[in-house]
Amino acid sequence: ETGVTQTPRHLVMGMTNKKSLKCEQHLGHNAMYWYKQSAKKPLELMFVYSLEERVENNSVPSRFSPECPNSSHLFLHLHTLQPEDSALYLCASSQGSGDYNEQFFGPGTRLTVL
Amino acid sequence: GQNIDQPTEMTATEGAIVQINCTYQTSGFNGLFWYQQHAGEAPTFLSYNVLDGLEEKGRFSSFLSRSKGYSYLLLKELQMKDSASYLCAVMDSNYQLIWGAGTKLIIKP
């Protein structure tokens, strides 16, 4: 248990579906992250929220839409995904987003797009 | 561009010692992290180096040479539970973590 939870743990969706991934951290952190992890590839940072400011990776397609209603919750809204979006989506949190910031990860959502 | 290199896979024997290397080329340097990730689980923090030298933490040690853009993770007295992927990540000048693809470590009896 790292103090970061993610739901659902597994998700199978069609390309026309709309779904959302949820992340919650119980650590009092003020920065949260979404990562994509594909087999044998480095973790890809998708989005960062720090004190309600969003830092976005320019290469993230618009079919991924993040939402951070407060410092404890982070969502990733998915729509019209492609099969190549199938991956493990990891959420993480840290005390800050600058300087030393050990990140605590959730267990991930295994997403399969059919 | 920014790049982190580490071996894809390594095999070692229970009770032995293994060294996992990581080389990096990044725009700026604000520290290097090692994480452990068991299959199907979250990555968990192992170590952080920002100054040159060796940091020892129990059976695990991590070394950094900033001039060489090089780090290694040393695991001693290997146990079967050490079978996992080990991820190297460097914090760049923008305080973003740049990740390697991970090294899958297989421990054999």
B12-62 per-position pLDDT tens digit: 999 999 999 999 999 899 999 999 999 988 999 999 999 999 999 999 999
Q: Which chain A residues touch B45 with a CB distance below 8 Å? A: 102-104
| Cβ neighbours of A91 (radius 10 Å) | 27
Of B45, B95, B99, the CB nearest to A99: B95
Distance CA B98, CA B11 (A): 25
**So what's the pLDDT on residue A27?**
94
Q: Do the Cβ atoms of B25 and B32 come closer than 8 Å?
A: no
CA distance B6 to chain A (A): 11
Q: Which chain A residues touch B35 with a CB distance below 8 Å? A: 105
**So what's the pLDDT on residue A58?**
63
Quick check: B2 pLDDT over 90? no
Instruction: Write A34-40 long-range contacts (CB < 8 A, 24+).
Output: A34/A66, A34/A74, A34/A76, A34/A89, A34/A90, A34/A91, A35/A89, A35/A90, A35/A91, A35/A92, A36/A87, A36/A88, A36/A89, A36/A90, A37/A87, A37/A88, A37/A89, A37/A90, A37/A108, A38/A87, A38/A88, A40/B8, A40/B101, A40/B102
Pairing of strands A109-113, A10-13: parallel
Residue type at position B18: V
Q: How many CB contacts within 8 angstroms connect chain A with chain B?
A: 48
Residue B81's contacts (CB-CB under 8 Å, 6 or more residues apart) are none
Are the Cβ atoms of B42 and A97 closer than 8 angstroms? no
pLDDT exceeding 70 applies to what percent of chain A? 92
Identify whether A8 is preceded by a cis peptide bond (ω within 30 of 0): yes
Between residues B96 and B34, the one the model is more confident about? B34
CA distance B38 to chain A (A): 10
Q: How far is CA B73 from CA A8, A24, A43, B23, in A?
A: 33, 31, 19, 12
**So what's the pLDDT on residue B91?**
92
Distance CA A37, CA A109 (A): 10
pLDDT tens, residue by residue, A76-107: 999 999 999 999 999 999 987 666 678 999 99
Distance CA B89, CA B74 (A): 16
Nearest in space to A104 (alpha carbons), one of B73, B92, B41, B84: B41
Structure tokens given for B46:
């192992």
